[in-house]
Structure 1
Amino acid sequence: MAHVPDIVRDFYNKLSVGNAAGALGLMAPDIEWTTMWHYKVIGRGPDKVAEGLFKPLMAEWASFALVPTEFITEGETVVSLGDFTGVHSVTGKTSNARYAHVWTVRDGKIATFRQYIDSLAIDPARGEGRL
Structure 2
Amino acid sequence: MSASENIAVVRKMYESKADPAVLQEVIDPEIVWDITPGFPGGGVYNGFESVGRDFFGPLFARVDTFYPVGEEYYADDADHVFALGHYHGETKAGKTADVRFIHIWTVRDGKLAELRQAADSLVLDRALNG
TM score, norm. by length of structure 1: 0.84
Unaligned runs of 5+ in 1: none
| Paired residue secondary structure (1:99) | strand
Unaligned runs of 5+ in 2: none
| Paired residue secondary structure (1:126) | helix
Match of 2:33 in 1: 33
Percent identity over the alignment is 33
Greater fraction helix: 2
Cα displacement string for residues 50-92 of structure 1 (whole angstroms, at most 9, x for unaligned residues): 1122222322211223111100111200010011121111x32
**RMSD of aligned C-alpha atoms?**
2.0
Q: Aligned pair in 2 of structure 1 residues 29, 86: CA closer, same or farther (>3 Å)?
A: closer
Tell me by how many angstroms 1:7 deviates: 0.6
1:73 aligns with one of 75, 82, 92? 75
Q: How many residues align?
A: 125
Match of 2:97 in 1: 95
- Runs ≥4 residues deviating over 4 A: 40-43
TM score, norm. by length of structure 2: 0.84
RCO higher in structure (CA 8 A, sep ≥6): 2
